[in-house]
Amino acid sequence: MDDNKLYNALLKSEGERRRQAQKEGEAKSEDHFRTERPFAGSDRARPNWVKVDMEHSEYPPTVYDSSISLELIGNPRPWSSEQLRARKIIYPGMPDKAVMDAYRELRIQLRNRAGEKNFAVMFSSLGSRGNSVLTAFNLAASFAMDSHTSALLVDCDPYKQDLSKLVSIEMKAGVTDYVADKSLSIRDILYPSGVARLSVIPAGTQVSSAVELFSSVRMRDLVSELKSRYPDRCIVLNAPPFQETTEARILERFADQIVFGIPFGDVTAEVINESVDALGSDKFSGVVFQE
């Protein structure tokens, strides 16, 4: 075989290998929903190798399997199906399939918009009646259902303490405490949620100075650290109502995408349009109607 034929044969073989790799990396479509593209930590034909310093390690190099490592995330008090149902938290196999499918579809759209990198989504209600943190929690839980993905819910609404009703352990210090107190580390404010592969950070106790704290350099560094620490983590920021507070306008700068919550029967089309216009960026990704 001459050099040209060999070269063409190699190109054809490489093309077939890539097409097969793409096919294996895609999740199977469920019902009539769109196909979900592979995420940063998803299973792929080409392994994601971990660099090991052989001079200082007695262990040989290995292949990083995110589905195995993510199972090591601590969850000392997991919720049962009955406990999840009582708190209106979504879970695999739940009876209300329509609700589950709605969150799956939202997850697919957000991932497809972000590409193959990890990202932060800010969720903010446009009304005062919607349970913002429950919707944000369920959105994060939908990402955590993927065995190759972890999720982190960062509650940035210091005016409500509803997150404590959704988490299976007691929480103390949170975002505002961390930003105000430089002696605290991220580990001091990070808690397991009761849902596998989903961690949470509460809003904290510093309510009156939240605007100044969210505007600080330490807050910016916190979000940057959370986004860069794990390539297979999706971050959901739960913000106070967008129309009623200043905090949501400040938190918008830390998000890659923004989703508005619409309490059913509480918000007009004019308010939605005004909020999107006030946002003034291409980060707006859609709305979620809340009960």
Boundary residue ending a domain (51, 67, 83): 67
**C-beta separation of 1 from 10 below 8 A:** no
Q: In degrees rounded to 5, what are phi and psi of residue 53?
A: -80, 100
Predicted local confidence at residue 6, as pLDDT: 53
The residue ranges of the chain whose pLDDT is under 50 are 1, 21, 24-32, 43-50, 52, 54-55, 57, 61, 63-64, 67-69
Boundary residue ending a domain (23, 51, 67): 67
Please give the Cα distance from 135 to 118 (Å, whole number). Answer: 20
| 175, containing H or E segment | helix 175-180
The beta-strand segments (E) located in the chain are 120-125, 150-155, 191-192, 198-201, 233-239, 257-263, 284-290
Q: 61 and 190: one domain?
A: no
DSSP 49: B
Please give the Cα distance from 182 to 189 (Å, whole number). Answer: 12
How many structural domains are present in the chain?
A: 2
Q: 167 and 76: one domain?
A: yes
Q: In degrees rounded to 5, what are phi and psi of residue 214?
A: -70, -20
Q: 29 and 157: one domain?
A: no
In this structure, the number of other CB atoms found within 10 A of the CB of residue 187 comes to 6
CATH of the domain at 132: 3.40.50.300
Q: 62 and 84: one domain?
A: no
Q: 85 and 158: one domain?
A: yes
Predicted local confidence at residue 9, as pLDDT: 57
Q: Tell me which residue of 106, 219, 77, 249 sits closest to 154, measured CA to CA.
A: 219
Q: Tell me which residue of 236, 220, 78 sits closest to 157, measured CA to CA.
A: 236
Instruction: For residue 39, give its domain range.
Output: 3-67
Predicted local confidence at residue 28, as pLDDT: 42
Boundary residue ending a domain (43, 67, 91): 67
Q: 137 and 10: one domain?
A: no
Q: 101 and 19: one domain?
A: no
| 68, containing H or E segment | helix 66-69
Q: 198 and 239: one domain?
A: yes
Q: 80 and 13: one domain?
A: no
Q: 57 and 126: one domain?
A: no
Q: 76 and 53: one domain?
A: no
Q: 143 and 163: one domain?
A: yes
Please give the Cα distance from 89 to 39 (Å, whole number). Answer: 23
Predicted local confidence at residue 64, as pLDDT: 46
- State percent of the chain over pLDDT 90: 52
